[in-house]
Homo-oligomer: A and B are copies of this chain.
Amino acid sequence: MTVTSPDSTAVGGRPVVPARGALRPLGQDEVRITGGFWHARQEVNAAATLPHARSWMDRLGWTGSFTGPDAAPVDRRGREFTDSEVYKLLEAMSWEVGRGGVALEARIAELTGIVAAAQASDGYLHTAFGRPGQRDRYSDMLWGHELYCTGHLLQAAVARARTGGGQADPLLAVARRAADHVCDTFGPDGTPGVCGHPEIELGLVELFRLTGERRYLDQAALFVDRRGHRTLPRHHFGWTYFSDDQPVRQTTVLHGHAVRALYLAAGAVDVAVETGDDELLRTVAAQFDRTWARRTYLTGGMGSRHADESFGDDFVLPADRAYSETCAGVAAIMLAWRLLLATGDGRYDEVIERILYNVVATAIGDDGRSFFYAHTLHQRTAAEALPDDEEQLGFGGGPRAPWFEVSCCLPNAARLLAALSCYLVTVDDTGLRLHQYADAEISTCLADGREVGLTMRTGFPDDGVVTVRVTKTDDRPWSITLRVPQWAEGAELVTTYGRRHVSAGDIVVYRKFAVGEEIRLELPMRPRFTAPDPRIDATRGCVAVERGPLVYCAEAVGDLDLDSLRVDESVPPVDTAAGVAVRARFDVPGAESWPYGRAEPRSATTPTTSLDLVPYHRWARRGPSTMRVWLPAT
C-alpha cells in the first residue's frame, strides 16, 4: 500500500514529509499533545530548555561567531560544529511555534538575522572557515563539519517554513542559498568530497520536499553514493568511524560512530523513498534490524564505546561503560520513523517507544536545564553534580550537566520534544494508525480526503488504559488501528461491541464510527523480568525489570552497595506504592587480595528483603547515587 502525500511542498509542522510510503505523517496542526507524560516535558522544553540553550550559546560565544562574511570573529570559541547547535535551536524554536506553545517568532527572527549576516555572497555559511585569518573552506573535510552544519541549517529552515514562515521566510532564503552553494561545489562536476559527519543528506532531501527543487535531492543521493570509498583522509579512528569504510549499499550492520551512522542511514532512507530505490530501502532496513538485534542496549540506546562514540562489535554492550549518546537516541528515532513511514511495519513503533521512554525521557533534568550526554546503565560510584554555571568538558557518565563542551544533545532532544506530536498518529490507506499513546487531540483528513477527529486519553506509561474517542466522522466506515506492544501480554480491547483479548501487533477497528464513540485499549502494566541474549557477555547472569515500556533500575542514594546485590529471580517483581519491588539480598564479600581464584570468594549474605526499583528515566534526580539496570540473579 502506498499513501501519497497530498502536497509534498505543503507547509505544515512536521519534520519528514515523504512523497510516498505506507503511511502519511500528520502535522503539528493535526495532532496536539494535550497532557500527561510528554506534555509536561514539552512545557519544560519550551519554558526552560530553549532559553537555557540560547543563554549558553550566547555566553560561550557560539551565536557571536556569526559575524559578517568578510570578518572572522575575533578569537572564535567552541568546536567546528557550534553553528549546528544554533541551527538545532532554531529548529526546536520553530517546532515550538508549530506546537502552539510559547510565542517565539520574534526570537526566531532575531536569530535568523544573526545567522543571515554571516552568509557569504555566494551562499557559503560557516563561522570557522573561509574568512580572513581562517582556514580555507572545505580544507578539513574530516573534522570541519561544514556540510554537517549546513544540513542542520536546512532542517531548521524547513521547520520554520512549515510552522508559519512559509516559502518566503528569510531563514529559508538563507538555506536555499547555502544549499545551492553546496550543490554548486559538490555536484556531479564539482569536488567529489563527503563531510566527515553525515547530516547534509537529511537537510537536502527535506529541502527538496519543501521546495520541489530536484537538484537538492540529486545532491543528497550523490553524497549517499559517494560515501564509503575512503575519500576522507586516514585517521586513527579508521574510516569506519566516519562511515566512509564501505558503501551504504554494501553495509550489513550499522557501525562506526553511532550518530554518524544513524544520520547517514536516515538520509539514505529519504533518498531511497524519493527516488523509488527500494533496494536501498531494504538494505538500510536490514542494517537497522541487525543493529537492533545485536548492538542495542535494553533502553534502545546505541553506541557502546566511549573512545570513539561508536557501535561496538556485535553483543559488546557493557552496562557500566554504556555510551548510548542522547543524540544517537534521537537519530535512531529519526531513522525508525522514516522506516515506519516507508514500510508501515509496526516494529518501528516499539523502537521509537523504547528510545523515547528510556533514552529521551532520561536525558533531560526535571528543570530542563541539565542533561545527559551519555547514558550509562550502571553507575558504580556516585558523582556530584556540577554547579549550574559550569560547563562539563567530558562526555561520559556522571550526573546531568548544565552544558557540555560538545552540547549537541540538548538542542537535539529539544527539537524532537517540540515536534513530538508528529510521531503519534499517521494516515494509512483506510484510516488512522495510532503509534504512540498520549493525551492528544487529532484532527485530520483520511487518505480519501474525508475529515475525521479523535481524542486519546491515557495515563501512559504508568497506566496502560488508552481511551480513544471519535470527535469527528462521517457516515462511511474507516479504520482506527491501535498498536499492542510485544510487552503487553493479556491486552484487551473494549468497544461498543464488547471486550476481547488482543495479541501483540496492529489491531484494526474498521467500521462506521459515531461521534462520541469510544474504543478502550487496556495494556497490562505488570512488572516483568527480562533476560539478555547469552551472547551479551556484560550482562550474563543478570536480569532486568521492565514495566510497560519502561526499563527500571536499582538506585542507591545512600549506602546500599549495589555491587553486592543479588536478586531472587524466582519471585516475580511486584507493583508497590513506591513503584516496583524485587526480592533481593546482598552478598558482602570477604577479605580481598587477588580477585581471581579456584572458586568464588566466600561472602556473608544478608537476608532477602524487598528492594524498590525506579524507572530508569527517573534516576539521578535525587542527588549523587549509584545505579544499575542489570541485576545479578541469585
Q: Is the CB of A235 within 8 A of B598?
A: no
* Whole-angstrom CA separation of A534 from B597 in the bound complex: 11
Q: Is A249 an interface residue (CB 8 A)?
A: no
Is A497 close to B, CB under 8 A? no
Q: Which of A327-349 contact B (CB under 8 A)?
A: 347
Cα distance A293–B486 when bound, in Å?
43
- Which residues from chain B contact A347 at a C-beta distance below 8 Å? 593
Contacting pair A563 B542 (CB below 8 A): no
Is A314 touching B380 in the complex (CB atoms < 8 A)? yes
Interface of A, secondary structure class, is: loop
Within the complex, the shortest CB–CB distance from A306 to chain B, in Å, comes to: 4
Q: Taking the complex as formed, is A557 at the interface, i.e. its CB lies under 8 A from any CB of chain B?
A: no
A278 interfacial by beta-carbon distance below 8 Å: no
Question: Contacts A394-B238, A630-B537 known; A321 to B320 CB distance under 8 Å?
Answer: no
Residues of B within 8 A of A307 (CB): 305-307, 396
A182 within 8 A of B: no
Contact with B along A514-550 (1 / 0, CB 8 A): 0000000000000011111111111111101000000
Residues of B within 8 A of A528 (CB): 598
State A486–B594 Cα separation when bound (angstroms): 11
Query: Which residues in B have their C-beta under 8 angstroms from that of A132?
Result: none
Complexed CA–CA distance, A578 and B530 (Å): 41
A319-B537, A381-B313, A535-B589 known; A596+B298 contact, CB < 8 A: yes
CB neighbours of A314 from chain B (8 A): 380, 563
Contact (Cβ within 8 A) A289 B593: yes
- A162 CB-CB contact with B under 8 Å: no
* A293-B601 contact, Cβ under 8 Å, with A307-B306, A534-B632: no
Cross-chain contact B534 with A600 (CB below 8 angstroms): yes
Complex CA distance for A599 and B535, rounded to whole angstroms: 13
A446 to B: closest C-beta gap in Å = 32
Q: How far is the CB of A381 from chain B (nearest CB, A)?
A: 5
Q: Quick check: is A312 within 8 A (CB to CB) of the other chain?
A: yes
Q: Which of A268-319 contact B (CB under 8 A)?
A: 289-290, 292-294, 296, 298, 305-307, 312-316, 318-319
Contact between chains at B321 and A312 (CB < 8 Å) = yes
- Evaluate contact between B313 and A380: CB separation under 8 angstroms: yes
Shortest Cβ gap from A630 to chain B (Å): 7
* B-contact bits for A80-102, CB 8 A (1 contact / 0 none): 00000000000000000000000
Q: Which residues in B have their C-beta under 8 angstroms from that of A234?
A: 393
Answer whether residue A236 sits at the interface, using C-beta atoms and an 8 A cutoff: yes
- Closest chain-B Cβ to A286's Cβ sits at a distance in Å of 12
Contact in complex: B293, A595 (CB < 8 Å): yes
- A305 and B307 CA atoms in complex are apart in Å by 8
Residue of A315, A486, A534 with highest tally of chain B CB at under 10 A? A534
Given the known interface contacts A307-B306, A380-B315, A530-B596, the answer about A538 and B535 at a Cβ–Cβ threshold of 8 Å is: no
> How far, in angstroms, from A312 to B306 measured CA to CA in the complex?
12
Chain B minimum-CB-distance residue to A317? B595
Closest chain B residue, CB of each to CB of A593? B293
A58 in the interface (beta carbon within 8 A): no
Q: Is the CB of A541 within 8 A of B538?
A: no
Contact partners of A534 in chain B: CB under 8 A:
587, 589, 600-601, 603, 632
Chain B minimum-CB-distance residue to A304: B321
Let me know if A294 and B540 touch, CB within 8 A: no
B residues in contact with A395, CB < 8 Å: 236
Whether A563 lies near B589 (C-beta < 8 A) is no
Contact with B along A595-611 (1 / 0, CB 8 A): 11111110100000000
Q: Min CB distance, A387 to chain B, in Å?
A: 14
A318, B321: Cβ atoms closer than 8 Å? yes
Contacts A293-B595, A533-B596 supplied; 6 other A-B pairs, CB < 8 Å:
A235-B393, A236-B394, A237-B394, A313-B320, A314-B563, A537-B630
Show 6 residue pairs from A and B whose CB-CB distance is below 8 angstroms, ordered by the A residue: A236-B395, A238-B394, A305-B306, A306-B306, A315-B563, A378-B537
